[in-house]
Amino acid sequence: MTDWHADDALLSAYAQGRLDRARAASVEQHLAGCALCRGGIASHADPALLARAWVDVVDVLDRPRQSAFERVLIALGLSTHAARLATGASAARRAWVAGCMLVAAFAIVARYTDGRATIWFLTVAPLVPLTGVALAYGPGAFPMYDVVAAAPYPRIRLVLLRCLPVLPMTALLLVVGGVVLPGTAQAALWLLPGLALAVLGLAVERFVGARTSIIGLAGLWISAVTAARVSTGSVLSAFSPAVQVLSLVIVIVAVTAAVIGAGRTRRLL
Amino acid sequence: MTDIRLTAVSKSYGRRRVLNAISLEAGAGLLGLLGPNGAGKTTLLRILATVAEADSGGVHLLGQDAADPLPRVDIRRGLGYVPQETGFPSGFTAFEYVDYVAILKEMTDRRTRHDEVRRVLAVMGLSQVARRRIRRLSGGMKRRLVIAQALLGNPRLLVLDEPTVSLDPEQRLRFRDTISALAEDRCVVVSTHQTEDVAAFCPRVVVLHEGQVRFDGAPRQLADAATGRVWIADRRDPGARLAWRTGDGPLRQVGTPPPGARLVQPLLEDGYLLLVDAAEPSAEVTNR
């Protein structure tokens, strides 16, 4: 405690930023412990400056907390708002995690069944992201569907952002699986067709609805895998380099459309 | 300026025709949409919000054709929509929810967006709960939150599907005040089951029934349609299609009054009931 108090002139000079650093720091330290002087400085403070400072404080408090995944996406170059859209809806995130865990479990089972389950695994696994995306974001499943549908945000960009969470999760699971269980990495063949089906599914869902989109694309995929197996005797031909390239083209076209859409609204992903 | 121009709009779900050649025009002001369940109100509002597309007919909103993809995006930039039912992603705070929608409305500058989010939350009286998880909000607060997101960006067209559901009487009055002020310079369409809401603050009412417009005019005109058809008596009269006991004791009856009946001034709901009930004779039996 001290009996010394800052006089009006000193408080005024401090409030208006006219003190040098050393004296300002000294006054600041005194103010922190002296209620009387804190009360005295109020009349010298610029109300507009105080209002701006208060809004700044409130903004920091209001600011949505970023998840670890959201921070990773931002570090990789995604804008903060796009990262928010990609990771904000936790219901969809849970659907992804569940889908990926299912695929990983399937891969492990396939590893231990002498290849017989691999046929089923490779047939079904690409459909998991498709159904995951469509179910997580379709009407009746995504709680904000109508609100999102009425917003101007480019749909194709939203589709891609929604697909983002599946990539690190599945890649991580497959890498871990490959390390723990040698041979599991082969299961990664499904990843690109799976992503392409998911992108197509969300794009088509806009026109025919989630159910028709899932059933239609799932039917097409299963037919293609069956035809490949019948004609070549191996399900792996459905994952040939040509199919992988086609899948890559679909994904690249979607990315290009998203970038063009971003250009139209003068924003990037 | 005509903000809404619908021309012979029809919409079916499967074999069921929900909207049947609806034509409607509206400019700045408040338009109340009334109708029983299944009348097609929500479908009509989803078309106005560009969430659903009409099977046939023309939909022009804010001067642009909603059937074309690019103009549709422009329409959405000037649109605020409160769906009849909507959920919330779990874990969001009130602020985070509105901020998420603000991003979808292309507000990319964080500081400007956050200021706008705070503004709409304040308009709906939710500033104090901005940082509260949505699951901890009351039903009325959640409804106000959905209305708040519709106000983002000061839209030129507001489409509100039963916005006053879950609001308590005080909140409903505040809502009327807010929406009335907004409707002075923009088009606001409000669907509701609350005839008193329409009577209180809508200068124009449209009654939709079985996918068709049955009435389009001032609430007073709808009420006047029941002139000479509303009376009070101590016992139910045979000509009454609907009757209910009032707080004062006697039965208020709507239908064909007996000779010498004590006629009373009809309200909006009397005209509405007669209009809708006329299309459904079975209502007389179910309401006895």
Spatial neighbors of B147 by CB under 8 A, at least 6 apart, are B82, B124, B160, B163, B175
State the Cα angle at A190 between A187 and A191, rounded to 5°.
105
Q: Would you state the structure tokens that stand for residue B38, as one six-digit string? A: 């299944």
CA distance B25 to chain A (A): 21
Q: Of A91-100, B18-27, B188-197, where does mean pLDDT reach its minimum?
A: A91-100
More confident residue, A60 or B226: B226
**CA-based torsion, B162, B168, B173, B177: positive or negative:** negative
SS3 B185: coil
pLDDT of residue B227: 93
- pTM beyond cutoff 0.90: no
pLDDT of residue A250: 87
3-state SS of B130-152?
Answer: CCCEHHHCCHHHHHHHHHHHHCC
Please report, rounded to a whole number, the percentage of residues in chain A having pLDDT higher than 70. 66
Q: Of A89-103, B33-47, B195-209, B248-262, where does mean pLDDT reach its minimum?
A: A89-103
Strand partners of residue B81: B159
Measure CB to CB from residue A90 to each of B87, B89, B101 and give the nearest one: B89
What are the pLDDT digits (tens) for B142-172? 999 999 999 999 999 999 999 988 888 888 8
Please say if the pLDDT value at position B286 is more than 60: no
Please say if the pLDDT value at position A94 is more than 90: no
Q: Across the interface, do B106 and A267 touch by the CB < 8 Å criterion? A: yes
Instruction: Note whether B3 and B62 are within 8 A (CB).
Output: yes
- Average pLDDT score over residue span B93-117: 94
**pLDDT tier, B285 (very low <50, low <70, confident <90, very high otherwise):** very low
- Report yes or no for ipTM above 0.90: no
What are the pLDDT digits (tens) for A229-267? 888 877 777 888 888 888 888 888 877 776 665 555 444
CA distance A240 to chain B (A): 36
Spatial neighbors of B48 by CB under 8 A, at least 6 apart, are B4, B59, B61, B157, B159, B189
Please give the Cα distance from A146 to A138 (Å, whole number). 10
Please give the Cα distance from B149 to B126 (Å, whole number). 12
Instruction: Name every chain B residue with its beta carbon within 8 A of the beta carbon of A84.
Output: 99-100, 103
Q: Across the interface, do B76 and A150 touch by the CB < 8 Å criterion? A: yes
Please give the Cα distance from A232 to B74 (Å, whole number). 51
Please say if the pLDDT value at position A166 is more than 70: no
Please give the Cα distance from A194 to A188 (Å, whole number). 10
Chain B residue nearest residue A267, CA to CA = B108
CA A70 to chain centre: 6
pLDDT of residue B98: 96
Query: Closest Cα to residue A89, out of A64, A111, A106?
Result: A64
**pLDDT tier, B86 (very low <50, low <70, confident <90, very high otherwise):** confident
Please give the Cα distance from B276 to A202 (Å, whole number). 41
Please give the Cα distance from B146 to B150 (Å, whole number). 7
Q: Would you state the structure tokens that stand for residue B108, as one six-digit string? A: 């990319």
- φ, ψ for residue A29 (rounded to 5)? -65, -40
- φ, ψ for residue B59 (rounded to 5)? -125, 105
Instruction: Note whether A221 and A148 are within 8 A (CB).
Output: no
